[in-house]
Structure 1
Amino acid sequence: MNRLEELFQRKKEKVLNVYCTAGFPEPDSTLTVMKALQDNGADIIELGMPYSDPLADGPVIQASGARALQNGMTIEKLFAQLKNVRNSSPSGDGGIYVPIILMGYMNPVLQYGFERFCRHAADVPIDGLILPDLPEHEFETEYGPIIKRYGLNFIFLVTPETSEERIKKLDALSTGFLYAVSSSSTTGKQQDFNAVEQYLQRLQNMHLKNPVLVGFGIKDRQSFDAACKHASGAIIGTAYIKHIEQADDIEAGTKAFLQPIVG
Structure 2
Amino acid sequence: MMNRIDCLFNTKKNRILSVYCTAGYPCLNSTVTVIKTLSEQGVDMIEIGIPFSDPVADGPVIQQSNTVALKNGMTLALLLEQLKEIRTVTSVPLILMGYLNPILQYGMEALLKQAKACGIDGLIIPDLPLREYEQAYQSLFAQYGIAMIFLITPQTAPERIREIDRLSTGFVYMVTAASTTGRQSSFTTQQTHYFEAIQKMDLRNPVLAGFGIHDHTGFHTVCQYVQGAIVGSGFIKAIATGGDAALQDTIPHFIKSLYS
Category of TM-score, reference length = shorter chain: over 0.9
Identity of aligned residues (%): 48
Q: What does residue 81 of structure 2 align with?
A: 80
Output the amino acid matched with 1:163: A
**Structure 2: distance between partners of 1:140 and 1:239:** 33
Contact preservation (8 Å) 1:193, 1:227: no
Query: Match of 2:218?
Result: 223
- The correspondence for 1:246, drawn from 219, 234, 241, is 241
Q: Distance in 2 between matches of 1:16 and 1:227?
A: 11
In the aligned structure 1, how far is the partner of 2:178 from the partner of 2:19?
A: 20
The question of whether the paired residues in 2 share the 8 Å contact of 1:224 and 1:261 is answered with: yes
Kept in 2: contact 1:16–1:234 (CA 8 A): yes
Q: Tell me the number of residue pairs that the alignment of Structure 1 and Structure 2 aligns.
A: 256
Report what 2:230 is aligned to: 235
Kindly provide the amino acid, as one letter, of the partner of residue 237 in structure 2.
K
The offset of 1:191, in angstroms, is 4.5
The answer on whether the counterparts of 1:118 and 1:150 sit within 8 Å (CA) in structure 2 is yes
The offset of 1:125, in angstroms, is 1.2
Tell which deviates more after alignment, 142-151 or 108-117.
Answer: 142-151
Alignment of 1:98-247 (within 5 A): 98-195=92-189, 196-247=191-242
Q: Secondary structure at the match of 2:18?
A: strand
- Structure 1 counterpart of 2:235, one-letter code: Y
User: Could you tell me the TM-score, scaled by structure 1's length?
Assistant: 0.95
Q: Which amino acid aligns with 2:163?
A: K
1:261 aligns with 2:258: yes
- Which residue in 2 is equivalent to 1:33? 34
Runs of 4+ in structure 1 off by over 6 angstroms are: none
Give the deviation of 1:147 after TM superposition.
1.4
Give SS of 1:246's match.
coil
The secondary structure found in structure 2 opposite 1:179 is: strand
Amino acid at match of 1:29: S
Partner of 2:62: helix, strand, or coil?
helix
TM-score by structure 2 length? 0.96
The match for 1:90 is none
Unaligned runs of 5+ in 2: none
| Deviation string, structure 1 residues 178-197 (Cα, Å, up to 9, x no partner) | 00000110000015324311
SS of the counterpart of 2:218?
helix
Structure 2 CA distance for aligned equivalents of residues 52 and 145 of structure 1: 29
Q: What is the distance in 2 between the residues matched to 1:164 and 1:23?
A: 37
Q: For structure 1, which runs of at least 5 residues remain unmatched after alignment?
A: 88-94
Aligned counterpart, 1:44:
45
- 2:129 and 2:140 map into 1 onto residues whose CA distance is 15
The Cα offsets for residues 91-120 of structure 1, whole Å up to 9 and x where unpaired, read as xxxx11000000000100010111101100
Paired with 1:194 and 1:65, the residues of 2 have a C-alpha distance of 29
The question of 1:2 aligning with 2:11 is answered no
Distance (Å, rounded) in 2 between the aligned partners of 1:207 and 1:191: 27
Alpha-carbon distance, 1:56 to partner: 0.2
Counterpart of 2:48 in 1: which secondary structure?
Answer: strand
1:63-97 Cα shifts (integer Å, max 9, x gaps): 0001000011001100110001102xxxxxxx110
Give 1:92's aligned residue: none
Supply the distance in 2 between the matched residues of 1:249 and 1:183 (Cα, whole angstroms).
32
* Matched residue SS, 1:78: helix
SS of equivalent to 1:170: helix
CA RMSD of aligned residues (A): 1.0
Q: Which residue of 2 aligns with 1:18?
A: 19
